[in-house]
Amino acid sequence: MFCYHDKIEKIDMGGGVIRQYLGEGENMNVQHWNMADKSVVRLHKHPQEQFGYVIKGGFKMIVGDETTELKAGDAYFIPPNVLHEFTAIGETEAIDVFSPVKKDFPWKE
């Protein structure tokens, strides 16, 4: 499967967060995110594992009891069912991989 950036639908999640669904396999899917400065993906959890990579900008990130800041070039892993939140630091771009496949986003505004 191939994904061409200019042909992938941009989904406005509200609050300055744009998602692009890049595709899925049998056990995982990949998503591209753009977040405006100070936009927030509010505290939530899900049964999927989540691995991410910051392409541009950064996040203030809460995962469970830990809070940290990540910048472009940093990566993160979130275990299943752990509360987490992202706040963009500057214009931010990231890639997330979910396993198993995740399509629902209960925090969408």
From first to last of the 109 residues of the chain, give the pLDDT tens digit. 688 878 899 999 999 999 998 988 899 999 999 999 999 999 999 999 999 999 999 999 999 999 999 999 999 999 999 999 999 999 999 999 999 987 665 544 4
The residues spanned by each domain of the chain are: 18-72
Q: Considering the entire predicted model, what is its pTM?
A: 0.90
Beta bridge partners of 41: 86
**Pair 20, 91: CB distance under 8 Å:** no
DSSP label at residue 10:
P
Give the CA distances from residue 26 to residues 52, 66, 99, in Å, rounded to whole numbers and listed in that order.
19, 31, 9
- Beta-carbon contacts of 26 under 8 Å, excluding residues fewer than 6 positions away, are none
**pLDDT of amino acid 87:** 98
Phi-psi label, residue 5: left if phi above 0, alpha if psi -120 to 50, beta otherwise: alpha
The pair of three-digit structure tokens given for residue 84, joined into one six-digit string: 């987490």
